[in-house]
Chains A and B, each alone.
Chain A
């Protein structure tokens, strides 16, 4: 079934540990995004990639890094996790960038940093 997968589904992590959230899409979409969703707040963009080999910073990039080595994969890394990074993380993709294109979301990763 075409779509976006994320791993892990959930994770409890000790503060200071390094963690990579994985995201893979099989729709051959050019653009990919990482959001975090916190109670009472809208989805906030962490990083994005308009096409393979390029990345950009979103609204809340501090403490996170991304890479886009190929079209399908867009991992998000927390170099040294802190409790304020406790959140639900969604990866999304869209066919194009630079236009108002529909974004399709993965199932999310629920991350708890203690």
Chain B
């Protein structure tokens, strides 16, 4: 079967670093997306990884290990506006996205 797991909720402090993990099992694998979704809004693209390793993009970085079926999103220098849900999505053999339920990140001052 196909399965994406990520924590339901995380809490972090403004200015700190937080790592949001995602494990996946999908039929075939053609990469992994991370999206950000503020409450009541649409998901917006953050990153895409298809090769092993770390991709850095400003305060946000995303890591992939294909052999472990594992990815994480790293957010540095947290700001209050980073309070949102973070969605992990694996691309299966048909190039369809299989979505996790999302991790709600709460930032405290």
A residues whose Cβ falls under 8 Å from a Cβ of B: 40-45, 48, 58, 90, 97-108
Are A106 and B91 interface neighbours, CB within 8 A? no
Q: A42-B4, A101-B95, A103-B97 are in contact. List 9 more A-B contacts (CB 8 A).
A: A42-B87, A42-B100, A90-B43, A99-B30, A100-B50, A100-B91, A105-B43, A106-B42, A108-B41
| Cα–Cα, bound, A90→B101 (Å) | 15
Q: Give A76 to B35 CA distance when docked, in angstroms.
A: 24
Contact A102 B45 (CB under 8 A): yes
B101:A108 contact, CB within 8 angstroms: no
A44→B99 contact, CB < 8 A? yes
Q: Which residues from B are CB-within-8-Å of A107?
A: 41-42
Q: A100-B30, A102-B33 are in contact. Are A90 and B42 (CB under 8 A)?
A: yes
Complex Cα–Cα for A102 and B32 (A): 11
Q: How distant is the Cα of A105 from the Cα of B95 in the complex, in angstroms?
A: 17
